[in-house]
Amino acid sequence: MPQNSKYTPQILMRLAESVLLSISVAFFIIGVSQAMRNSFVGSYWVFMLSILCLLALRLVRAKTQPETQQETTTNPTNKKKKK
């Protein structure tokens, strides 16, 4: 891989988000299909893989957001002042 790569870390993180979301949806669809064919107990592990991918997606998104954005959402500055 050349040192002057066109792929920035932001592009790679968005790619990771897209892949994780796609895999999660695919596992969920497979789980529903297996649950209809067999039983929920037999397809439980497929649903757990789907949830695992969603949790990984949440972790990746949390790492990409800057800390300053998280602080402004938790502490809004436009509160009304009491007189």
Q: Is 27 exposed, middle or buried (0-12, 13-18, 19+ CB in 10 A)?
A: buried
Domain borders along the chain are 9-63
For the question of whether the overall pTM of this predicted structure is more than 0.85, the answer is no
Distance, CA of 72 to chain centre: 21
The string of pLDDT tens digits covering residues 5-45 is 677 777 878 888 999 999 999 999 999 999 999 999 999 99
Closest CA to 50 of 75, 80, 66, 30: 30
Which residues touch 34 (CB under 8 Å, ≥6 apart)? 42, 43, 46
Evaluate if residue 68 carries a pLDDT over 50: no
The rounded distance, in Å, linking the Cα atoms of 14 and 61 is 9
The string of pLDDT tens digits covering residues 42-63 is 999 999 999 999 999 999 989 8
Evaluate if residue 1 carries a pLDDT over 90: no
